[in-house]
Each structure stands twice: as structure tokens, then as C-alpha cells.
């Protein structure tokens, strides 16, 4: 039955849903993510994506901010709620290395020490074009895993 469901998953094409997790960011990356959602020039829907409100409906997770001590358990719990197959995009330099907050007592460390990251979108904050490109790469990865 596993092979049949895998085959049906590859045959049926559906649009991936995006879910955003703020892991303690300064909101610079979140503002740029809003740009990709609401401004027609950078509209993520042209890639066939939509943002969703529940992690249980998500296919691709976008994570912003350094992973802080305060929200680490919540972020890990939310990540576990996202069904497989899923792709993870680290948006901005903070989830990649801690960025400006690296070495702080409040930061756990790079996100990939706790969660597998598929795509890194660098910048502080990253440009909307870079975010769109990162989401496009994540869609390819997600479709390969179906």
C-alpha cells in the first residue's frame, strides 16, 4: 500500500502550502515574507503556493529568526506537526548562523542543529526575489519527496 500511495502522490499535482514560524526574529525577515504574500510583483501565488494557518496543512515551512531558548520547544513541536513530506526554508541569516544575535545567551544556535534545513535564503533581511527563489527550490525538493 505504501508504493501505491507514493505513486498516487506523484501523479496528483497539488499546490504546496506554506507555513511560517518565527523563531525569535527581529521581524525584518517577516516583513519581507509579507512582501511575497501581498505585493503582486513578488506574489508567491504565481508559484502555486498559498500560506496556511495550521502546521498540519503545511508542506513547506519558512523559519525566520535565530532559534531562541524561549521558543525552541514550541518551534520543535510545530515542526513535528507538519506532515511528511515537508521542506524547510531558513529565511535570513539568523536561522542559518544566529546572525547579529550569534553568541547571545538567549540563542540556542543554528537552526540546522535541531531541524533539517533544505534551503537557506541568506540576507539581513533577504530580498523578496531571494525568498521567492528559495521557495521555488523548496517546491522542487518537496515534489521529489512525494
C-alpha 144: how far from its chain's center?
17
Q: Could you tell me the CATH number of the domain that includes residue 55?
A: 3.40.50.12280
**Would residue 101 count as lying in a domain?**
yes
Domain membership of residue 1 (yes or no) is no
**pLDDT computed for residue 5 by the predictor:** 61
- The whole domain housing 113 covers 15-145
Name the DSSP class of 87: E
In a domain, 9, yes or no: no
Q: What is the pLDDT of residue 71?
A: 96
Q: Is residue 6 part of a domain?
A: no
Residue 125 counted as domain residue? yes
**Residue 131 Cα to chain centre, angstroms:** 10
What pLDDT does 39 receive? 83
For residue 131, how many C-alpha atoms fall within 13 Å in the half-sphere facing its CB? Answer: 31
Asked if residue 130 is part of any domain, the answer here is yes
- Tell me 1's DSSP state: -
Distance of CA 14 to the CA centre of its chain: 18
pTM of the model: 0.90
Task: Per-residue pLDDT tens, the chain, 146 aa: give them.
Answer: 566 566 555 545 678 999 999 999 999 999 999 988 878 888 888 888 999 999 999 999 999 999 999 999 999 999 999 999 999 999 999 999 999 899 999 999 899 999 999 999 999 999 999 999 999 999 999 999 98
Cell numbers 535565530 label which residue?
66
pLDDT at site 37? 81
Q: Which residues contact 142 (CB under 8 A, 6 or more apart)?
A: 16, 59, 60, 85, 86, 87
The total number of structural domains that make up the chain: 1
Q: Is 48 part of a structural domain of the chain?
A: yes
Cβ-proximal residues to 94 (8 Å cutoff; 6+ apart), any chain: 23, 24, 25, 26, 29, 64, 65, 66, 100, 101, 124
Given this model, what pLDDT does residue 16 score? 94
Residue 4 lies in a domain: no
- Contacts of residue 10, defined as CB under 8 A and 6 or more positions apart, other chains included, come to 146
Amino acid at each position: 500500500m505504501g508504493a501505491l500511495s507514493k505513486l498516487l502522490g506523484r501523479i496528483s499535482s497539488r499546490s504546496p502550502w506554506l507555513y511560517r514560524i518565527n523563531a525569535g526574529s527581529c521581524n525584518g525577515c517577516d516583513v519581507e515574507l509579507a512582501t511575497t504574500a501581498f505585493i503582486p510583483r513578488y506574489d508567491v501565488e504565481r508559484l502555486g503556493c498559498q500560506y496556511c494557518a495550521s502546521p498540519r496543512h503545511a508542506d513547506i515551512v519558512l523559519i525566520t529568526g535565530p532559534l531562541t531558548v524561549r521558543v525552541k520547544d514550541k518551534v520543535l513541536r510545530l515542526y513535528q506537526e507538519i506532515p511528511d513530506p515537508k521542506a524547510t526554508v531558513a529565511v535570513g541569516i539568523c536561522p542559518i548562523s544566529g546572525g547579529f544575535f550569534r553568541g547571545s545567551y538567549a540563542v540556542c544556535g543554528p537552526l540546522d542543529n535541531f531541524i533539517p534545513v533544505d534551503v537557506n535564503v541568506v540576507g539581513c533581511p533577504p530580498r523578496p526575489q531571494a525568498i521567492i527563489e528559495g521557495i521555488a527550490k523548496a517546491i522542487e525538493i518537496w515534489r521529489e519527496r512525494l
